[in-house]
Amino acid sequence: MIRFAFYGRVSTEDQQDPEASRGWQLARARALIEGHGQITTDYFDVGQSRSLPWKRRPQATLLLQDLARPDRGFDAVVIGEPHRAFYGNQYGLTMPVFEHYRVAMWVPEIGGPIDPSSEAHDLIMSVFGGMSKGERNRIKVRVRSAMQAQAKVEGRYLGGRPPYGYRLADAGPHPNPAKAADGRRLHALEKDPVTAPVVERIFKWYLNGMGIFLIAQTLTGEGIPSPSTYDRTRNKHRTGIAWSKSAVQAILANPRYTGRQVWNKQRKAETLLDVEDVALGYETKLKWNERDQWVWSDRPAHPAIIDEATFVAVQERRIRRSPSSDRPRVRAQHPYALRSLLIHHQCGRRMQGAWNHGHAHYRCRYPQEYAIANVIDHPLSVYLREDAILPDLDAWLATAFDPNHLTATLNTLEASQADSRGAAIDPIKKKIAACDRNLARHRAALEAGADPAVVTAWIRETQAERATAEATLRHVEGETTTGLRLTRKEINDLVESLGGILAVLGRADPADKAEIYRQLGLKLTYDHETNMVSAEASPRSSVGVLYVSEGGLEPPRPIKGTSTSS
């Protein structure tokens, strides 16, 4: 009897039930292999787009890694649905790996195992990849066209967080009968009695000549909560202790305060993750569309906070106060070895890279971004020169991998290896139990009369989390303890290889150093009052403290045309 591993995938973007989807894909797989063997383990990706390559899907990545293991526990892999497993040219990039490790791939549409030497099989699987890509593109076109018509003709609220100054209101049952039967309801924007007057004041102040920073300072001084403070649920990642200039600018630039629905201000742009390795696929980023691509509702869709004449006057003043030069701004790209790794201790924000006088610096200009009437005692600017950190940092990293410390490092790493199987199972089971408790609370809220649309979204999200946890648990429980722990020789080889990497850090290119630091899980925190940088690397539990000399910490001389820093 053949031992099979099952692979499937479901995306929750189209509101599918992960458990139901896994069930019918698994049923197709079992029907195919009936009489030939049984499924001993499965890999099921939940919430992963089909456009992601296998190496960027969690469960597919585990499957590819397990192919190389002699104790993998399966002899062949059965795919429940090729449309969901492969997209575009993914089959052509994945099948050679299966062939290399002599693992057969079974697909229902083939009627059994794929023959790598068969042109017909290769053509069929390529067609399925093309059909999958075409299906996704057709869905995107249909959805965007429908949303454009709904925003322009109906002025429908299409989701997302309400702008500061508004809150969501019920707008009746969903016009789609099937969705209405499922409890879905439409929503619309209505004025928030607390924040709408603040928006009116911001527009009035700006037209009366107040600057953006002065507006932020005034609002903070009056104790008015900033948008991130007022809505902490959606802004847990922000401090919210003061109004920022960007928050005021976003309010002044938002045309929805005129009562019109505006859609398509941003788009999800797919760009290659690495132009040198197309097989890695694309990454999706939000990008701003040009103003002429925005879709405006033909008529007012919600109560206006300011009139259109006021909005136009504000935009004209913003244009007059913006830089007048028509020359394209070309910013030089400089490498920073500690990009995104350095945190300012006093405010908790990431320090930004700044190139001054031929040297890389990192700076924090909290008061220039946020109103100074806040609870943080923060200098106008805090600068730290990169070459004041790197020598001591590299020396600290190399210490653990020095030959004199090799024995101690080996003992530490070997002792820290608990039974990874048991350690991995406990949090997964706790996650499943937490999901069950949340599902019970959601259903109780639904029975108590809560908004069905909101509760249904909660239930769907929790079910997706539970399905992911269950798939991970099945994979972990299906593994044997053998092979999970590194042998002392493997640890020794790992330490020696890292030692070789760290030995060349001093002369490495900044971009390469940045990648090495990230692989080591490095995190740096700078305290400007003590001139110390605390360094943590995730492979080790210890924390190093670097004493940085005063030289190089002083702010660079201001360049002509910029403000003086202190």
Q: Residue 43: its pLDDT value, please?
A: 93
The span from the CA of 171 to the CA of 188, in Å, is: 6
Q: Residue 396: its pLDDT value, please?
A: 77
Burial class of residue 288 (count of CB atoms within 10 Å of its CB; 0-12, 13-18, 19+):
exposed
Backbone angles phi and psi of 77, in degrees to 5: -120, 135
Contact predicate 281/53, CB 8 Å: yes
Which residues lie closer than 8 Å to 427 by C-beta, 6 or more apart?
none
Q: Residue 480: its pLDDT value, please?
A: 40
Block residue for tokens 């913003």: 318
Q: Residue 261: its pLDDT value, please?
A: 92
Give me 139's structure tokens: 């869905």
- Mean pLDDT, 10 residues at a time, over the chain (566 residues)? 92 72 91 93 88 90 91 92 90 92 93 92 90 87 89 87 91 83 86 94 94 88 87 73 85 93 87 76 84 90 93 91 57 77 82 85 74 61 86 76 59 53 68 82 72 71 75 61 47 54 63 73 86 73 48 40 34
Contact predicate 471/428, CB 8 Å: no
Q: Residue 202: its pLDDT value, please?
A: 95
C-alpha closest to that of 389 among 525, 516, 529: 525
Block residue for tokens 């439409």: 186
The span from the CA of 399 to the CA of 395, in Å, is: 6
- 81-87-88-93 Cα dihedral, nearest 10 degrees: -90
Give me 520's structure tokens: 């080591």
Q: Residue 21: its pLDDT value, please?
A: 87
Q: Residue 485: its pLDDT value, please?
A: 47
Q: How many CB atoms lie within 10 A of CB 448?
A: 8
Which residues lie closer than 8 Å to 304 by C-beta, 6 or more apart?
257, 258, 259
The span from the CA of 124 to the CA of 109, in Å, is: 8
Backbone angles phi and psi of 445, in degrees to 5: -65, -35
Q: Residue 501: its pLDDT value, please?
A: 55
The span from the CA of 229 to the CA of 389, in Å, is: 35
